[in-house]
């Protein structure tokens, strides 16, 4: 009993016991050598036959696309060029173009061509299926057309997975039919500028039927991948499977000099080979269990087994018992790991015993627990980032502010106040130019101050009787980077929730200074109505607890802008930085923003 426990306590001891029992090494070596020689002969013959089928499909694909690309000559037709360039067409022009398409069909007998479409840069197009049409959106939003605009001499071949109805130029959706799209740019004959595009939709049944009908051995199959190794045509019999069993070194095979290899990394060995299609850039991949293409070697293997079976009856029986005890927990652990790899992180192992496999199962359970926690944390952080970015976008432009400013411009223009109109328009232009900032999130402090100054100039013209302002920023702060739209929401709060309710003229001061040569402190203070202690405490809770007013059921005036600025600062600079608010009722409010001097990138 102690011996059995000692053997069961270690995987290494189990393996040692197994190899001690299997002592008939010479007989095994003879059998293996004989089998390997027969295997090599049968394998080479079967490999050549299997690869010939893949090469034939690759040649058929190339021939199909070489013939179909002749339709691209339609783009050189005079009426087509006139249609794409002039944006003017008549009913007779349209009929003539459609006749031209039909004449090409009659000439080349394209049974697999489903539709021919041509479209110019402005969304005006014509196709066999829809006739004349006008797109509602810019055709250059289609990534394939954008690519052709930049590389007009290239011809794109788009597989069905990318040529969906949503991305197709004319939006036509084929019922129960997948298509392969050939796209090319149409250039003006003299200047060679891109004036439009031609798209030819092909029925994918040639490739699909091959994948469905041609098999290798009993369970082997062919599928088609793109240059990156992503499957684009697979057998219909695999649609119900959760995952296509892709070879482990497929990417290396596509990019390397070899065209075939034996995949032995997982499960039984599989023979994998590739035949490239030069016209499409795709590759035909054959995938078959190695055993199925060397079935002829089975008779030789059986003869070898019969020769040695009597010598191995006892050893094999004992080895089967030990190996079964050894591999069962490994298979269980493997199945749980496969479940975890597919995304099911609740696949815990129930360890049995105290050997290395049991310890590995415990480590696996701990790893899954930590992964779940990290995923939950990551999801929560991503949600907060998205919410903060959305609020930042929402806070950039106040439509009521724009409407009121435009009304003021109209009123001043009607009153003949030309100088004030010019000043107001210039300030509005600067405001929006800096707000956009070519899509950048970061600007220098000098630009942020210029942005808020433009905002105050506009508001002072509208609220001349209640608004004065001062801006005092240390000059050495000007070149430092800062998140844009930090000051304006706080100044807007000071105006609308501080001065506007004061009913007499008030002052907004903007101060910028450096604290301890480490941090930048920006201060916005006003002498408005301030806040009560209770209201101030609520505002501080919103900022401290990272909870915006609209989520608490107790909305606080001005809380959205402050919360938005607080969120963005903490997301980009960290929890040590942010917004602090002080206020005294009927005396005013002071909002301080602290950021690091080294934060951000321009």
Q: What is the pLDDT of residues 470-481, one digit of tens each?
A: 999 999 999 999
Largest alpha-carbon pair distance within the chain? 115
Residue where one domain finishes, among candidates 246, 273, 296 = 296
Instruction: Flag the least confident range among 379-383, 390-394, 508-512, 537-541.
Output: 390-394
Per-residue burial over 347-385, b if 16 or more Cβ lie within 10 Å, else e, is bebebeeebebbebbeebbeebeeeeeeeeeeeeeeeee
The Cα 82–Cα 89 span in angstroms is 8
Predicted local distance difference test score (pLDDT) of residue 509: 94
Residue 405 falls inside a structural domain = yes
Residue 342 falls inside a structural domain = no
Residue 433's domain is classified under what CATH number? 3.30.565.10
Residue where one domain finishes, among candidates 261, 296, 331 = 296
Tokens representing 401 are: 């502010």
Q: How confident is the model at residue 508 (pLDDT cuts 50, 70, 90)?
A: very high
Q: Which domain holds residue 406?
A: 397-596
Phi, psi of 415, rounded to the nearest 5 degrees: -85, 0
Q: How confident is the model at residue 582 (pLDDT cuts 50, 70, 90)?
A: very high
Same domain, 274 and 404: no
Q: Which residues contact 577 (CB under 8 A, 6 or more apart)?
A: 519, 569, 570, 594, 595, 596, 599
Q: How confident is the model at residue 442 (pLDDT cuts 50, 70, 90)?
A: confident
Residue 497 falls inside a structural domain = yes
Collapsing DSSP states into helix, strand and coil, what is residue 141? Answer: helix
Predicted local distance difference test score (pLDDT) of residue 387: 58
The Cα 257–Cα 200 span in angstroms is 33
Collapsing DSSP states into helix, strand and coil, what is residue 155? Answer: strand
Residue 543 falls inside a structural domain = yes
Summarize pLDDT for 158-171 with one digit per residue, the tens. 888 775 544 566 66
Residue where one domain finishes, among candidates 278, 296, 314 = 296
* Residue that wins the pLDDT comparison between 425 and 602: 425
Same domain, 412 and 532: yes
Please give the average per-residue pLDDT across 113-118, as a whole number: 86
Please give the average per-residue pLDDT across 84-107, as a whole number: 79
Q: How confident is the model at residue 22 (pLDDT cuts 50, 70, 90)?
A: low
Mean per-residue pLDDT over the chain, rounded: 79
- Count of other CB atoms within 10 angstroms of residue 309: 10
Query: HSE on the CB side for 180, CA within 13 Å?
Result: 24
Residue 248's domain is classified under what CATH number? 3.30.450.20
Tokens representing 339 are: 């479940």
Predicted local distance difference test score (pLDDT) of residue 580: 92
Predicted local distance difference test score (pLDDT) of residue 371: 86
Residue 332 falls inside a structural domain = no
Q: Which residues contact 54 (CB under 8 A, 6 or more apart)?
A: 222, 273, 274, 275, 284, 285, 286
Number of domains in the chain: 2
Please give the average per-residue pLDDT across 403-422, as a whole number: 80
**64 close to 109: Cβ distance less than 8 angstroms:** no
Collapsing DSSP states into helix, strand and coil, what is residue 202? Answer: strand
Q: How confident is the model at residue 340 (pLDDT cuts 50, 70, 90)?
A: confident
Same domain, 418 and 279: no
Same domain, 80 and 223: yes
Q: What is the pTM of this model?
A: 0.43
Strands 467-473 vs 506-515: parallel, antiparallel or unpaired: parallel
Residue 337 falls inside a structural domain = no
Measured between alpha carbons, how far apart are the two ends of the chain, in Å?
A: 73
Query: HSE on the CB side for 104, CA within 13 Å?
Result: 21
Residue from 50, 67, 60 nearest 206 by CA: 60
**467 close to 475: Cβ distance less than 8 angstroms:** no
Same domain, 262 and 122: yes
Sign of the dihedral defined by the CA atoms of residues 98, 100, 103, 107, in that order: negative
Confidence check: pLDDT of 596 > 60? yes
Residue 338 falls inside a structural domain = no
Distances (CA, A) of 196 to 65, 90, 513, 566: 21, 18, 56, 48
Tokens representing 330 are: 């490994």
Instruction: Flag the least confident range among 129-138, 294-303, 448-457.
Output: 294-303
Residue 1 falls inside a structural domain = no
């Amino acid at each position: 009993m102690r011996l059995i426990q000692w053997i069961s306590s270690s995987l290494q001891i189990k393996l040692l016991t197994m190899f001690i029992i299997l002592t008939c090494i010479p007989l095994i070596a003879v059998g293996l050598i004989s089998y390997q020689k027969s295997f090599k002969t049968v394998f080479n013959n079967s490999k050549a036959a299997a690869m010939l089928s893949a090469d034939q499909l690759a040649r058929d694909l190339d021939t199909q696309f070489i013939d179909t690309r002749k339709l691209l000559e339609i783009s050189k037709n005079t009426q087509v060029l006139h249609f794409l360039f002039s944006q003017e067409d008549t009913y007779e022009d349209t009929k003539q173009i459609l006749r031209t398409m039909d004449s090409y069909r009659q000439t080349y007998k394209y049974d697999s061509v489903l539709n021919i479409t041509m479209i110019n840069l402005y969304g005006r197009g014509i196709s066999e299926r829809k006739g004349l049409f006008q797109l509602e959106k810019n055709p250059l939003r289609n990534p394939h057309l954008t690519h052709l605009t930049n590389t007009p001499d290239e011809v794109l071949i788009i597989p069905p997975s990318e040529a969906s109805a949503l991305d197709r130029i004319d939006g036509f959706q084929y019922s129960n039919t997948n298509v392969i799209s050939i796209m090319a740019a149409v250039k003006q004959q003299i200047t060679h500028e891109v004036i439009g595009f031609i798209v030819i939709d092909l029925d994918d049944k040639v490739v699909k039927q091959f994948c469905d009908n041609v098999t290798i051995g009993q369970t082997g199959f062919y599928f088609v991948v793109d240059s990156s190794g992503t499957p684009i045509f697979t057998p219909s019999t695999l649609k119900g499977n959760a995952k296509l069993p892709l070879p482990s070194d497929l990417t290396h095979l596509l990019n390397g000099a070899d065209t075939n290899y034996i995949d032995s990394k997982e499960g039984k060995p599989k023979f994998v080979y590739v035949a490239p299609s030069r016209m499409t850039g795709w590759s035909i991949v054959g995938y078959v269990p190695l055993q199925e293409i060397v079935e002829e070697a089975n008779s030789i293997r059986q003869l070898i087994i019969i020769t040695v079976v009597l010598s191995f009856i006892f050893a094999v029986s004992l080895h089967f018992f030990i190996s079964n005890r050894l591999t069962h927990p490994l298979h269980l652990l493997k199945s749980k790991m496969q479940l975890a790899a597919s995304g099911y992180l609740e696949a815990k192992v129930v360890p049995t015993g105290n050997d290395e496999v049991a310890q590995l199962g415990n480590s696996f359970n701990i790893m899954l627990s930590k992964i779940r926690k990290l995923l939950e944390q990551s999801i929560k952080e991503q949600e907060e980032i998205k919410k903060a970015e959305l609020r930042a976008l929402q806070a950039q432009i106040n439509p009521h502010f724009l409407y009121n400013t435009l009304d003021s411009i109209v009123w001043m223009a009607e009153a003949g106040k030309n100088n004030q109109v010019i000043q107001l328009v210039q300030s509005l232009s600067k405001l929006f130019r800096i707000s956009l900032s070519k899509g950048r999130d970061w600007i220098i402090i000098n630009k942020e101050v210029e942005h808020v100054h433009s905002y105050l100039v506009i508001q002072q013209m509208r609220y001349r009787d209640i608004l004065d302002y001062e801006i005092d920023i240390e000059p050495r702060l000007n070149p430092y980077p800062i998140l844009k739209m930090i000051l304006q929401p706080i100044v807007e709060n000071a105006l609308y929730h501080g001065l506007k309710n004061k009913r007499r003229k008030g002052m907004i001061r903007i101060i910028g200074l450096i604290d301890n040569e480490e941090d930048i402190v920006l201060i916005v203070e006003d002498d408005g109505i301030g806040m009560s202690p209770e209201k101030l405490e609520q505002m501080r809770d919103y900022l401290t607890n990272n909870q915006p007013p609209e989520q608490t059921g107790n909305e606080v005036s001005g809380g959205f802008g402050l919360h938005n600025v607080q969120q963005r600062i903490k997301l980009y600079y960290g929890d040590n930085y942010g917004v602090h608010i002080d206020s005294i009722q009927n005396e005013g409010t002071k909002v301080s923003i602290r950021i690091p001097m080294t934060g951000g990138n321009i």
